[in-house]
């Protein structure tokens, strides 16, 4: 399984989150910056 490390909020003391993909790879890629947990939730629920 592959995965992407996610930023979880703006507090530097927060533990990082991770999204895991089954299969060959991710359905998307990060082009610039850090991908945040809330950004992934927004993208998959629309």
Each residue's pLDDT expressed in tens, for the chain with a length of 46 residues: 577 788 777 777 777 778 887 777 667 777 888 788 788 888 888 7
Domain ranges in the chain? 2-45
pLDDT of 42: 85
pLDDT of 25: 67
- Return the H-helix or E-strand segment holding 43: helix 37-45
Could you tell me the pTM of the whole model? 0.53
Tokens for 20, please give them: 């895991």
Tokens for 25, please give them: 């790879």
Label residues 7-41 b or e (16+ Cβ within 10 Å = b).
beeeeeeeeebeeeeeeeeeeeeeeeeebebeeee
């Amino acid at each position: 399984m592959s995965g992407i490390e996610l930023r979880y909020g703006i507090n530097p003391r927060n533990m990082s989150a991770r999204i895991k993909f089954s299969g060959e790879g991710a359905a998307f890629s990060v082009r610039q910056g850090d991908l945040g947990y809330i950004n992934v939730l927004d993208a998959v629920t629309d």
